[in-house]
């Protein structure tokens, strides 16, 4: 190959390279133009689709609202209802320790009151038991020593009877002295009985009373005596505090 052929070939190559660069620039420009057009078309389609989306949302909302109203019974839900408030949640979280302390304090107070009431109950039970024991002891003592006072009043009468027997056994004893001593002793006995509300029943000449008298026999009424009258007392009766302890044995006129 000659030098002349080499020089024209180099210029051709440069020309071809320049054409290639121009073609590449044109291709890039055309691509950018197409890209801009595609972006513009996409933007327009997006703007066109946005209203239809709102319309579809409204339509779907219109379709759902009747069903929601039917399920909820016509209760309307306001915007934001049912959304948890972070501030309220924070307040609740902060309030929990205080509530726990209050509950612990209330529990301690309740336990203290329960212990106090239990102690009072035990004391009351002990007091009741002590009162019952004292009452039983008093009743037993009353039964045992109920005759203590009357026994003390009967002892002098016994002493008087013993002295009367000793005097009657002497050689110088007379009937009058023995009788006088016996009358004094009987008087002492009557006083002791009256002191303890033991009253003698001697109904001679009175109307017959079946509550205090017991008829042993009936005799014809003497002159001047009404029927059903006690004409003779065979044994006297006695009452204790107006309660009959022994009826009088009597003879009644017909």
- For the cut 50, the answer to whether the pLDDT of residue 7 exceeds it is no
- Beta strands 248-253 and 213-219 are parallel
CB of 160 within 8 A of CB of 185? yes
Q: What is the pLDDT of residue 31?
A: 54
All residues at 6 or more sequence positions from 182 whose CB lies less than 8 Å from its CB, including other chains: 164
Superfamily holding 198-254: Head domain of nucleotide exchange factor GrpE (2.30.22.10)
Phi, psi of 80, deg, nearest 5:
85, -5
Q: In sequence order, what are the residues at sequence separation of 6 or more whose Cβ sits closer than 8 angstroms to the Cβ of residue 148?
A: none
Instruction: Give the C-alpha separation, 80 to 58, whole Å.
Output: 19
**CA 51 to chain CA mean position, Å:** 73
Instruction: Give yes or no for residue 98 having a pLDDT over 50.
Output: yes
Write 80-83 long-range contacts (CB < 8 A, 24+). none
pLDDT exceeds cutoff 90 at 251: yes
Pick the more confident residue, 254 or 137.
Answer: 137
Q: Would you say 228 and 184 are in contact if contact means Cβ atoms under 8 Å apart?
A: no
What does the longest C-alpha to C-alpha distance in the chain come to? Answer: 214
Give strand pairing partners of 236.
Answer: none
Residue 212 CB partners (closer than 8 Å, separation 6+): 201, 203, 237, 239, 244, 247, 248
**pLDDT value for 39:** 55
Least confident of 76-85, 92-101, 110-119: 76-85
pLDDT of residue 178: 87
Residue 229 has pLDDT above 80, yes or no: yes
User: 222 vs 89, which has greater pLDDT?
Assistant: 222
Q: Tell me the domain boundaries of the chain.
A: 102-146, 147-196, 198-254
d(CA 86, CA 81): 14
C-alpha distances in Å from residue 204, one per residue of 86, 238, 240, 250: 112, 14, 20, 8
């Amino acid at each position: 190959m000659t030098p002349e052929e080499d020089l024209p070939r180099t210029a051709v190559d440069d020309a071809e390279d320049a054409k290639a660069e121009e073609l590449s620039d044109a291709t890039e420009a055309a691509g950018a133009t197409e890209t801009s057009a595609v972006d513009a078309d996409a933007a327009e389609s997006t703007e066109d689709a946005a209203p239809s989306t709102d319309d579809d949302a409204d339509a779907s909302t219109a379709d759902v609202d009747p069903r929601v109203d039917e399920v909820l019974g016509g209760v309307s839900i306001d915007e934001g209802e049912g959304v948890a408030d972070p501030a309220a949640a924070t307040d609740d979280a902060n309030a929990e320790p205080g509530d726990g302390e209050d509950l612990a304090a209330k529990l301690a107070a309740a336990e203290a009151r329960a212990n106090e009431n239990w102690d009072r109950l035990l004391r009351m039970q002990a007091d009741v038991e002590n009162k019952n024991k004292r009452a039983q002891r008093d009743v037993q003592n009353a039964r045992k020593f109920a005759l203590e006072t009357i026994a003390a009043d009967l002892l002098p009468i016994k002493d008087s009877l013993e002295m009367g027997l000793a005097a009657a056994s002497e050689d110088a004893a007379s009937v009058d002295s023995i009788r006088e001593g016996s009358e004094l002793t009987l008087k002492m006995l009557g006083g002791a009985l009256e002191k303890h509300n033991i009253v003698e029943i001697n109904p001679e000449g009175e109307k017959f009373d079946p509550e205090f008298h017991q008829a042993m026999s009936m005799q014809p009424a003497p002159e001047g005596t009404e029927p059903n009258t006690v004409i003779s007392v065979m044994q006297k009766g006695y009452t204790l505090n107006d309660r009959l302890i022994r009826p009088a044995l009597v003879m009644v006129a017909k």
